[in-house]
A and B are shown apart, each in its own frame.
Chain A
Amino acid sequence: MFRTSARQNPLRSSALHLVLIVYTLICVAPILLIIMNSFKSRRGIFGAPLEFPRGETFSLEGYETVFTIGNFPLYFQNSLIVTIVSLLLTVVFGAMAAFALSEYRYRGREILTLYMILGLMVPIRLGTVGILNMMAAAGISNTLTALILVYTAQHLPLAIFVMSELMRQVSDDLKNAARIDGLSEYRILFRLVMPVMRPAIATIAVFTMIPIWNDLWFPLVLAPSEETRTVTLGAQFFIGQFVTNWSAVLAALSLAIIPMLVLYMLFSRQIIRGITSGAVK
């Protein structure tokens, strides 16, 4: 690693770094702007939007509003429950389906694979009306369960697709050795195959978790009640038709970044090992 980068042309490597730094700045700038402005008064936000909070512009009024007026701790809890449970269900059921599709030979397997993966091509929002009716008929509209079911269904196809491709690459001999040692198919999947695929699963987890956390549509349609509101929906509370409390909106958004950041860091440290070893014991 070190030797190859040391041997690289310094000009090329600094050019590369320049490009990467510029790109990083472009990506980070909006987030920085949000966090910066969340610590300013309304006057500060509009008077000097690009400045760091200073003496007279510094204010915690946004955060105060969020914690006093809105029911934010509850919204956070809702978002976390929905995101984590959906994520777990997606990974666990995705892995099981992928294993069934990649490991065993049976009639109709190709059709079943196609059926599972078809979801990749159909935008789930087109089915909103149907989903809404279904949830109402099942009596679970305005519950977190409704959201969890929808998100799990939405993200399963990609998880199945990626994992079944990867599982084909896990050594057959290893699985067979485990079968001879008497391990159940569940243990082979969760204790042998999934740990090998840990990085891939962490990636899937990140790609599943972020859209769920950020989604506004389904919380709005399926669970808009006060007790089931998620953070993204809760933040809308401060955006009025005529007046928008920008400090509060920005404070809510800044706070909403934190859990994702924490989860992301956990995944990059492959917390997944714990998840998979604890899933089936």
Chain B
Amino acid sequence: MGELAFRNITKRFDKTEVLRHIDFQIEDGEFVVIVGPSGCGKSTLLRIAAGLEDQSEGQVIIGGTDVSLAPPAKRAIAMVFQSYALYPHLTVEGNMSLGLKQARTPKDVIKERIAEATRILALEPYLKRKPGQLSGGQRQRVAIGRAISRHPQVFLFDEPLSNLDAALRDQVRMEIADLHRRLGATMLYVTHDQVEAMTLADRIVVMHDGVVQQIGTPRELYKTPANTFVAGFIGSPRMNMFQGQANSGVIRAPGLPPLPLPEGTALSGPVTVGLRANGLDLHPAPGAGADTSEVVDIDYLGNVCYLRLTLPDDATMVVEQRPDHPFSLGDHVTVTVQPEEVHLFDPEGLRI
């Protein structure tokens, strides 16, 4: 009942297309995260789902009903904004009840809903306060409470954590994850932060320049990115990419050891080779040579280390190592590649 479907949505501002043929469906109870760089059209798509923006073409279906022309209040959605968007002149309680009063909900139902939201988010001590008297994290919890009290079919989140500092961000993120588990409601969540996307989502939609690049579970996106954009966007640190040539079963890229082509592929011509930091091994080399790299930077993160290398052709590469690795700055090393961790892309950037 709570599914949300975009049917071939296109959006133009004047002449510029900011969304192109968006077409996917979020199942009932699913948590879907749209992720993409700033300006790729994520918020616009969310606002179209909410009815705050008109699509130029296509339909929005919520719970099996075409709501393409319905006003926001009639779409059974609730939205949480980056800037909290609480009504400054109303108390926390007033903020949560305004929408219900507006929909002429009976008084006892309103009371019940507010009590429920208050309990779920532990807002009891703040009910009588105005938003101005709350901290950022508390305000965002109130905004989430306001969404809960509407009992929507679909929750929409537009970068709800971006205004919070790092520690709070993790805390509120977990609360949102708990909330989803608890309510089992359909949620569509927009962020530019791939870590948020990976940790929260059942499925992720990667967007770039108004076009959906790939839809899949976090694992699918990480393991089999559909193109170079997704490969570069999902996963931290960023995937290392190199331009190479495939020839008679071997790929050669400057600075890399020759890589065997995967079984059963007959490929020749230019390719892009993608290597994640954790799919590489380092071996000490006695000194500088034609196939050795130099360690130019070491990021120690406690549980892992990231080493930045300069390859013989001056390209750089990031390699993950255990924290007890034997290398130090200025060391010369040779790199070997774990064959199952090689991602190949054709000249158009599509996965091979």
Whether the pair A177, B79 counts as a contact (CB closer than 8 A) is yes
Nearest CB of A to B235, in Å: 31
Whether the pair A180, B82 counts as a contact (CB closer than 8 A) is no
Nearest CB of A to B84, in Å: 8
> Does B29 make an interface contact (CB < 8 A)?
no
A196-239 contacts to B (CB < 8 Å): 196
> Does B72 make an interface contact (CB < 8 A)?
yes
Closest to B81 in A: A173
Cα distance, A161 to B143, chains bound together (Å): 33
Nearest CB of B to A94, in Å: 22
| Bitwise interface map of A from 173 to 186 toward B, beta carbon under 8 Å scored 1, else 0 | 11011111111000
Whether the pair A181, B73 counts as a contact (CB closer than 8 A) is yes
Whether the pair A174, B85 counts as a contact (CB closer than 8 A) is yes
Q: Residues of B contacting A171 with CB < 8 Å?
A: 83, 85
| Bitwise interface map of B from 61 to 105 toward A, beta carbon under 8 Å scored 1, else 0 | 000000000011100011101111111110000000011001100
Q: Residues of B contacting A196 with CB < 8 Å?
A: 88
Whether the pair A179, B81 counts as a contact (CB closer than 8 A) is no
Given A195-B89, A196-B88, does the pair A176, B102 have CB atoms closer than 8 Å? Answer: no
CB-contact partner of A180 in B73, B87, B88, under 8 A: B73
Cα distance, A195 to B103, chains bound together (Å): 23
Whether the pair A181, B52 counts as a contact (CB closer than 8 A) is no
Nearest CB of B to A281, in Å: 14
Q: Residues of B contacting A176 with CB < 8 Å?
A: 47, 50, 52, 72, 79, 81, 85
Cα distance, A65 to B73, chains bound together (Å): 64
> Does A166 make an interface contact (CB < 8 A)?
no
Nearest CB of A to B44, in Å: 12
Q: Residues of A contacting B52 with CB < 8 Å?
A: 176, 179-180
| Bitwise interface map of A from 152 to 175 toward B, beta carbon under 8 Å scored 1, else 0 | 000000000000000000010110
Interface residues on A, range: 10 to 19
Cα distance, A121 to B82, chains bound together (Å): 41
Closest to A177 in B: B85
Nearest CB of A to B12, in Å: 12
| Bitwise interface map of A from 243 to 273 toward B, beta carbon under 8 Å scored 1, else 0 | 0000000000000000000000000000000
Given A180-B72, A180-B99, does the pair A174, B79 have CB atoms closer than 8 Å? Answer: no
Q: Residues of A contacting B146 with CB < 8 Å?
A: 177
Q: Chain A contact residues: over half helix, strand or loop, or mixed?
A: helix
Closest to A171 in B: B83
Q: Residues of B contacting A182 with CB < 8 Å?
A: 71-73, 99, 102-103
| Bitwise interface map of B from 41 to 67 toward A, beta carbon under 8 Å scored 1, else 0 | 000000100111000000000000000
Cα distance, A182 to B88, chains bound together (Å): 17
Q: Residues of A contacting B86 with CB < 8 Å?
A: 174, 177
Q: Residues of B contacting A181 with CB < 8 Å?
A: 73, 98-99, 102, 150
> Does A192 make an interface contact (CB < 8 A)?
yes
Closest to B99 in A: A181
Q: Residues of B contacting A177 with CB < 8 Å?
A: 79, 81, 85-87, 143, 146
Nearest CB of A to B71, in Å: 7
Closest to B52 in A: A176
Q: Residues of A contacting B84 with CB < 8 Å?
A: 173
Whether the pair B85, A173 counts as a contact (CB closer than 8 A) is yes
Whether the pair A179, B85 counts as a contact (CB closer than 8 A) is no
A60-90 contacts to B (CB < 8 Å): none
Whether the pair A180, B102 counts as a contact (CB closer than 8 A) is no
Q: Residues of B contacting A180 with CB < 8 Å?
A: 50, 52, 72-73, 77-79, 99
Q: Residues of A contacting B158 with CB < 8 Å?
A: 173
Nearest CB of A to B248, in Å: 58
Q: Residues of A contacting B77 with CB < 8 Å?
A: 180
Cα distance, A133 to B16, chains bound together (Å): 50
Cα distance, A177 to B47, chains bound together (Å): 11
Cα distance, A196 to B77, chains bound together (Å): 26
Nearest CB of B to A1, in Å: 19
Cα distance, A176 to B49, chains bound together (Å): 13
Nearest CB of B to A106, in Å: 12
Whether the pair A178, B87 counts as a contact (CB closer than 8 A) is yes
Cα distance, A178 to B82, chains bound together (Å): 15
Cα distance, A174 to B86, chains bound together (Å): 7
Nearest CB of A to B161, in Å: 15
Cα distance, A173 to B71, chains bound together (Å): 16
Cα distance, A195 to B81, chains bound together (Å): 21
Q: Residues of A contacting B78 with CB < 8 Å?
A: 180
Given A176-B52, A179-B73, does the pair A192, B87 have CB atoms closer than 8 Å? Answer: yes
Pick the most buried of B51, B84, B85: most chain A CB atoms within 10 A of its CB: B85
Closest to B53 in A: A176
Q: Residues of A contacting B98 with CB < 8 Å?
A: 181, 183
Q: Residues of B contacting A183 with CB < 8 Å?
A: 98, 102
Closest to B54 in A: A105
What 4 pairs between A and B have smallest CB-CB spacing? A182-B73, A181-B99, A173-B85, A173-B81
Task: Beyond the given A181-B99, A182-B102, A192-B87, please list 8 additional residue pairs across the A-B interface where CB-CB is below 8 A.
Answer: A173-B82, A176-B79, A179-B52, A180-B50, A183-B98, A183-B102, A195-B88, A195-B89
Which residues of A are in contact with B by a Cβ distance under 8 Å? 171, 173-174, 176-183, 192, 195-196
16 contacts across the A-B interface (CB closer than 8 A): A171-B83, A173-B158, A174-B87, A176-B50, A176-B85, A177-B87, A179-B52, A179-B72, A180-B73, A181-B150, A182-B71, A182-B72, A182-B103, A192-B87, A195-B88, A195-B89
